[in-house]
Structure 1
Amino acid sequence: MTSKIEVLEAALTSALGDAAVSVTTALGEVTVVVKAAAYLDAMRTLRDDPALKFDQLIDLCGVDYSTYGEGAWGGLRFAAVSHLLSLDHNWRVRVRVFAPDDDMPVLASVTGIWRAANWYEREAFDLYGILFEGHNDLRRILTDYGFIGHPFRKDFPISGYVEMRYDPEQKRVIYQPVTIEPREIIPRVIREETYGMK
């Protein structure tokens, strides 16, 4: 007897063909990695193919893989990961696509397929610097419009580059370089020999 996940894997492999780099299952969840060049067509296929019918985009987020696996990662740095839901078939899939250029990560926008992608793609742009080609309003959504950098990138400093404060002389909020000295905090753990025993 074929399980529901095996049916989904077969349908994904058949529908996506060469656009899929891999279709894997782990912990009861199916993940499809698609080629960046075929990303838009693959997402449209996932929505429109009658055997799949992924009509809802549940989530889309950016990922920075630069230090993934204790730094052992050797692949591309930035990816967009989407979670799709099919109401008709009652199944889910995770779709991962890697931006081909680490210095300027650009992927196609799926806002024309699922309107819900609008704010998700803006968030991925704001926090990771992933550009979505074809998005008609790609601007910051969580950080200030004058913010410098992308705070979820692994190489972004914890203290940031600038800080803001209210200046009573100018009677307005101003930005200035960070005044905090960077330091490494190492937790100190002291335990007694009989700690936790009675």
Structure 2
Amino acid sequence: MSTYAVTPAAIEAAVRAAVGDKVKALSTTFDQVELQVSAANWLDVAQVLRDAAGCQFEQLIDLCGVDYSEYGAGLYEGPRFAVVVQLMSIALNQRLRVKLFLDSDDFPILSSVAGVWSSASWLEREAFDLYGIVFEGHTDLRRILTDYGFIGHPFRKDFPLSGHVEMRYDAEQARVVYQPVSIEPREITPRIIREEHYGDLH
């Protein structure tokens, strides 16, 4: 068992050898190796990354959605949604980030890897709840953070800051009721007042 992290170049070589022609992009930034593969190949690649001798990424430590709709001040023209996965190999003391751009902006879908890494189950539910990304093959894909009956996906860039509905307890009805949001949308710009020599060192 390794007692030190292998170099990014060695991780890249091992991943490229294991994944082969399914690699869309493979690079290192700030000592973090990132692999891009197509959404269609994700399930097969996930199993390879877990089992291949030079990879052995036996733990999925994070999975999240990304909405690129406002990326680059509106100049970005690629797919709107992506899923980013962080993998770790305890046996080889190495990490890998996998980025998967999803084919549809209207109905983002990706194969579930909860059968490959059980830790993916709750994280895929979070990405479904917050971004509306559907994980095909997930055995219990339902909301996990928002309330019952919640409308929309709150981490999407086009979701209103105040939401769509609000809930409150109604004492007369002795139950929780839902109603349209009563908060007026507004933008608050803080006023900064500083003394004349604020921050001077002398």
Q: Which TM-score band (shorter chain)?
A: over 0.9
C-alpha displacement of 1:11: 1.2
C-alpha displacement of 1:161: 0.4
3-state SS of paired residue (1:142):
coil
- Inter-partner Cα distance in structure 2 for 1:117 and 1:24: 24
Q: Which residue of 1 is the match for residue 71 of structure 2?
A: 68
C-alpha displacement of 1:94: 0.3
1:189 paired with 2:199, answer no
Provide the identity percentage.
60
1:176 paired with 2:179, answer yes
Give 2:159's match in structure 1, choosing from 156, 173, 190.
156
- Inter-partner Cα distance in structure 2 for 1:98 and 1:85: 21
Contact 1:122 1:140 in 2 (8 A): yes
TM-score by length of 2: 0.93
Contact 1:19 1:39 in 2 (8 A): no
- Inter-partner Cα distance in structure 2 for 1:104 and 1:59: 23
C-alpha displacement of 1:28: 0.6
Contact 1:164 1:173 in 2 (8 A): yes
- Inter-partner Cα distance in structure 2 for 1:22 and 1:36: 13
- Inter-partner Cα distance in structure 1 for 2:105 and 2:19: 25
C-alpha displacement of 1:12: 1.1
1:132 paired with 2:131, answer no
Q: Which residue of 1 is the match for residue 120 of structure 2?
A: 117
Consecutive unaligned residues of structure 1, counting only runs of 5 or more, are none
3-state SS of paired residue (2:183):
coil
- Inter-partner Cα distance in structure 2 for 1:68 and 1:32: 20
3-state SS of paired residue (1:122):
helix
Q: Deviations over 1:148-183 (max 9, x none)?
A: 001111111110000001112111110000001111
CA RMSD of aligned residues (A): 1.2
C-alpha displacement of 1:195: 2.1
C-alpha displacement of 1:71: 2.5
Q: 1:21-36, aligned counterparts within 5 Å?
A: 21-36=24-39
Consecutive unaligned residues of structure 2, counting only runs of 5 or more, are 1-5
C-alpha displacement of 1:70: 2.6
Structure 2 counterpart of 1:35, one-letter code:
S
- Inter-partner Cα distance in structure 2 for 1:144 and 1:100: 28
- Inter-partner Cα distance in structure 2 for 1:196 and 1:106: 51
1:147 paired with 2:137, answer no
Contact 1:104 1:130 in 2 (8 A): yes
1:18 paired with 2:21, answer yes
TM-score by length of 1: 0.95
Give 1:57's match in structure 2, choosing from 37, 60, 75.
60
C-alpha displacement of 1:196: 3.0
